[in-house]
Structure 1
Amino acid sequence: MRRKIPSTAALVAFESAARHQSFTQAAHELALTQSAICRQIAGLEEFLGVELFRRSRRGVKLTEAGLTYSRKVAAQLDAVERDTLAAMGQQGAQSLELAVVPTFATQWLVPRLKDFQRLHPEVTVHLTNRTRPFLFADTAFDAAIYFGDGDWSGTEAHYLMPEEPLPVCSPALLAGREPFSAAELAMLPLLQQSTRPYAWRQWFNAQGLNVPRDLAGPRYELFSMLAQAAAHGMGVALIPPFLIERELAEGRLVAAHPTALHSSDKAYRLMIPERKLESAALGAFRDWLLAAAQAYREARAGSAV
């Protein structure tokens, strides 16, 4: 079926005229005659069946419909230009679009990506924040790194590492004393992670405690926000240690209790849609990422011995 799309030349002429509110300036910008601009826009209005400009002796002015359409056309032309420049700049290179949970990407993945670039200079990796599952068919993503049980329809899951969050707080909250007991933690302000709403309940239950206020406390969407709140003495937070290595090393955060929360089913995973399984670039990234995650798990296990 033929698409209901006007000519690119007409859209470019319209966008320029709408931006300048002038056919004359649009003609100058596009190196065309004013009559050529007029013909393009008249043809576009006929195609749409909508008046885009009001003409008068003083010039032209966008109609309400023209203003709305111009904004959408400008955004689409910008997108086409970006994609075109990207395609022109690749010259045989490959790129990957990854959806990632933000704090994991910032604190763990990005510091290691230089190694992947060294091994595979022909592959460019783009990262975009996504905190929850989505339909790959509705996006341009090649793969995703997320935290969950791996149950994501139409994908192949690859285990990276567990989360195992640990209760942490500002050293000022401890005031030089030994870490709190679980019962003492229950009396402190509890900082909540909005995508892990039952984390504190699970932690206290694992310690054999039923704490009525385990769901209370300010909520933050990202672990990076939780870390900042805890470091500023706002309460105790459950955060995976590998996401706050710098804060722990610098003493801005300390363990409020030595016991982490262990989950048997949920973990960080690389999710690859089935239609992308044959991608050579994605296969190279998958192999590198799994090796890096395994090396990290082994190093972490060794340090814990």
Structure 2
Amino acid sequence: MKESPAFKSLPPLNPLKVFETVARLGNLTKAADELHVTQSAVSRQLGVLEKYLGVKLFTREARGVSLTKSGQAYHQRVGPAFAQIASATAELRGIRKEPPLRVLAYTTFAAKWLLRHLYKFEQSHPDIEVLITSSVEPVVFERDEVDIAIQFGDGRAHHGHSVLLFRDIIEPVCSPALLLAPHQLSSPRDLERFKLLYSRYRSSDWPDWLQHVELGHLAKYTSPPLPSSLLAYQAAIEGLGVAIGQTRLLEAEFLSGLLTRPFDLPLTRDLGYFAVLPPRHVAPKAKMFLDWLCAETEAIDRL
């Protein structure tokens, strides 16, 4: 039997597994504990992979390691592949007999953050199937029949145990093309020449940010609201105007160059995204998911 051409380009699988674990956990010691090897063994395996690929995947720092741009790009492809293998293996072994973990999340949070990170949870917990539903309405656990919810607000109106994941940080975002002539978006005052895009569910974002930079009078230039932040961001990517963006949800767009922050004048508000557990019975898998959410958002804050 002939070897598949695709297999010839595969790197050594054990170093690849070590790379995925370190990239996912962001820590050599934690990776060594999960893999049941020593930290020096982890470092050696990373060296083998970097030598094979001919690129630096991590930078070593006093408080740990962080992915290089090459490492980030590689992990975005390798991580989901490991998650798929784990998922396929779990299904084949027939261990997914429990009902799924039901997660309710705001649509934009689900699309721009949760789905981009979820493979890490599935890889660590291949026996837990996650079912995501989306809504902009406040959760009512008796009605919605979910195990955990991701809600936006100040945390006081949530019925149940709530934990802050991260604060709401907003600022203008646009296509890099708008920074070039003849557009010349170079200062906040230039915004009066552009459509100011936003979601109808976040109508206070532009007024709040404009007040933050002492240009409240420019709020009159906002365009008619769009049905969702997802559409506002896509309109900005297409160069149709400048959106007021939730920067924590747009990290992939900034990294890829689809969007940019023209002014670097963020406004951090008292609002934020909260993970909410039901007030009474909390499923063990919901607690696991909450622990993962907290660890994942803290890990991103350290990058």
Query: What TM-score, normalized by structure 2, do the two folds share?
Result: 0.63
Q: Is the 8 A contact 1:236 1:256 kept in 2?
A: no
Alpha-carbon distance change, 153 to 171 in structure 1, aligned in 2, over 3 angstroms: closer
What is residue 137 of structure 1 aligned with on the other side? 142
Alpha-carbon distance change, 259 to 153 in structure 1, aligned in 2, over 3 angstroms: closer
Q: Is the 8 A contact 2:96 2:129 kept in 1?
A: no
Residues 93-133 of structure 1: CA deviation (Å, up to 9, x unaligned): 24211111122212221222222122222221110011120
Q: Is the 8 A contact 1:194 1:219 kept in 2?
A: yes
Alignment counterpart, residue 156 of structure 2, candidates 135, 138, 151: 151
What is residue 263 of structure 2 aligned with on the other side? 257
Alignment counterpart, residue 111 of structure 1, candidates 112, 116, 120: 116
What is residue 174 of structure 1 aligned with on the other side? 179
Residues 1:298 and 2:302 are matched in the alignment = yes
- Using the TM superposition, name which of 90-99 and 158-167 deviates more: 90-99
Q: In structure 2, how many angstroms separate the alpha carbons of the residues matched to 1:224 and 1:286?
A: 25
Q: Is the 8 A contact 2:195 2:221 kept in 1?
A: no
Q: In structure 2, how many angstroms separate the alpha carbons of the residues matched to 1:200 and 1:91?
A: 45
| Alignment-mate amino acid for residue 268 of structure 1 | Y
Q: In structure 2, how many angstroms separate the alpha carbons of the residues matched to 1:91 and 1:121?
A: 8
Report the count of equivalent residues.
209
| Alignment-mate amino acid for residue 296 of structure 2 | A
| Alignment-mate amino acid for residue 300 of structure 2 | Y
Alignment counterpart, residue 243 of structure 2, candidates 229, 233, 237: 237
What is residue 280 of structure 1 aligned with on the other side? 284
Deviation at residue 143 of structure 1 after TM alignment: 1.5
What is residue 185 of structure 1 aligned with on the other side? 191
Gaps of 5+ in 1: 1-88, 300-305
Deviation at residue 144 of structure 1 after TM alignment: 0.7
Gaps of 5+ in 2: 1-93
Alpha-carbon distance change, 135 to 90 in structure 1, aligned in 2, over 3 angstroms: farther
Residues 1:201 and 2:210 are matched in the alignment = no
Alpha-carbon distance change, 172 to 127 in structure 1, aligned in 2, over 3 angstroms: same
Deviation at residue 164 of structure 1 after TM alignment: 0.7
Deviation at residue 163 of structure 1 after TM alignment: 2.4
Deviation at residue 212 of structure 1 after TM alignment: 5.3
Q: Secondary structure at the match of 2:102?
A: strand
| Alignment-mate amino acid for residue 210 of structure 1 | G
Alignment counterpart, residue 127 of structure 2, candidates 78, 99, 122: 122
Question: Identical aligned pairs, as a percentage?
Answer: 30
Q: Is the 8 A contact 2:95 2:127 kept in 1?
A: no
What is residue 50 of structure 1 aligned with on the other side? none
What is residue 54 of structure 1 aligned with on the other side? none
Alpha-carbon distance change, 201 to 215 in structure 1, aligned in 2, over 3 angstroms: farther
C-alpha RMSD of matched pairs (Å): 2.2
Q: In structure 1, how many angstroms separate the alpha carbons of the residues matched to 2:107 and 2:230?
A: 9
Alpha-carbon distance change, 149 to 124 in structure 1, aligned in 2, over 3 angstroms: same
Residues 183-234 of structure 1: CA deviation (Å, up to 9, x unaligned): 2223421112211101111111111122154473131233221111011121
| Alignment-mate amino acid for residue 170 of structure 2 | P
